[in-house]
Amino acid sequence: MNIRITPHVLKGNIEAVPSKSQAHRVLLAAALAAMQSGEETGFRISGTSEDVRTTARCIKALREAAAIPRKPLLTDCGESGTTLRFLLPVCAALGIDTTFTGHGRLPARPLSPLREEMERHGVTFSDPDDKGSSAAAPICRIQGRLSGGEFRLAGNVSSQFISGLFFALPLLKEGGSVVITTELESTHYIDMTLDVLRDFGIVIELANKGPDGIGNTYTAAGGQHFVSPGTVEPEGDWSNAAFWLAADSLGSDIGITGLSLGSSQGDKEILRVIRDIESSDVIDAKNIPDLVPIIAVLAAVKPGTRTITNAARLRLKESDRLASMAKCLSALGADITERPEGLIIRGAGRLTGGTADGCGDHRVVMAMAIAATVADGPVIIKGAEAVAKSYPGFFRDFRKLGGIAERI
């Protein structure tokens, strides 16, 4: 689906969609509580994204497989890295023979060092015999039961590896610990996981805290039980709200409800970025990688030169987001240079119209839609349907706010 956007300011009020990151975590914790004690958890998720639906579907299959001894599990993780990286250690902790498949770039995204640590603790990885549907690509098959002990993980590859183990270790009789061997990035996602686990009665202690997270040791006692809190109220999603907040700072007039300043979501940092961007020449993306596409738009429009750093991990997302944003913003007249770990953007105060390829990446598409509101001429975005991954109603809300977006 291609969309043509005619530049126009946005105006009105909008409610933040529920947090996708929190939804993944609550769905898994709720499933484990139900499997251990039969307790169900109330959690309403409106406007569900493709990723969250994927997690819900995979967890349903997990519950069915766990109820039948020695039943293998075949699970299609779609394009959701969170689903895959959370379920790998959990399925292994439950001793379920599981085949994982996926779509898009997911099968090529890294599993190291989680894979090596799981292999060191009794899990066998192999190529799948049953590859599922013809549309899905094989990722791996795991067999054996995960054993406890010490897991050593780099902190600068994916916080999802760490979070996945946080869900798995309390299920083991002997428990275990996670030791961070490098500087820890995306710390807010780890905090969010710990918050959700705490709500479900799981205790994970930070036994040792090192500089920049190096040497952090998180310990989980074994034999813990997930206990349903009854009902969980979903938080508004700061990651997706960031697009509207950025638009507001670029001249639109948007009010957003449903966001909590006390949230552990790291992307509430968008408020600080917006406040400080005109006086900043370096923006460190270490703990806010998902904000980089919209920050790049802000930097391209605001006069001045800015460097986005510590963003190399973005090359392993739904697209190579550094390359994608450099290509898209260049197509609209921005002066942008791609670097191995970031971007250099020389804001000229304006963008032209043009055509941008969304690269099959939801955050790239949404960022370009906001850029289009302040361009000099119409902007065509190719592959706009990618927003369904995290925010299916994005263009509906865009039009609700007065945006002019036509399907072509």
The 10s digit of each residue's pLDDT in 121-132 is: 999 999 987 666
Write down the mean pLDDT value for the chain: 95
Q: Mean pLDDT throughout 302-329? A: 95
C-alpha to C-alpha distances, 401 to 122, 135, 252, 362, nearest whole angstrom: 53, 37, 9, 19
Does position 48 have pLDDT exceeding 70, yes or no?
yes
Residue 344 located in a structural domain? yes
Interhelix angle 292-301/362-372, rounded to 10 degrees, is: 20
List, for residues 359-405, the tens digit of each pLDDT value: 999 999 999 999 999 999 999 999 999 999 999 999 999 999 999 99
Residue 291 phi, psi dihedral angles, 5° rounding: -85, -10
Which CATH number belongs to the domain containing residue 369 in this structure? 3.65.10.10
Please give the pLDDT value at position 234: 85
Tell me the β-bridge partners of 193: none
Q: Tokens for 363?
A: 């955050």
Pick the catalytic residue from 76, 290, 357, 361.
290
Confidence (pLDDT) at 110: 87
Total domains, the chain: 2
> Are 209 and 241 within one domain?
no
Instruction: Say if residue 118 is in the same domain as residue 71.
Output: yes
Residues 194 and 308 in one domain: no
Boundary of a domain, candidates 220, 244, 276: 220
Average pLDDT over every residue of 103-111: 92
Whether residue 267 lies in the annotated active site: no
* 191-212 per-position pLDDT tens digit: 999 999 999 999 999 988 888 9
User: For residue 331, what are the domain limits?
Assistant: 3-17+236-407
- pTM for this one? 0.91
pLDDT score for 45:
78
User: Which of these, 41, 54, 44, lies nearest to 17 by C-alpha position?
Assistant: 44
Q: Are 262 and 278 found together in one domain?
A: yes
Q: Do the domain assignments include residue 374?
A: yes
Mean pLDDT of the region 227-247: 95
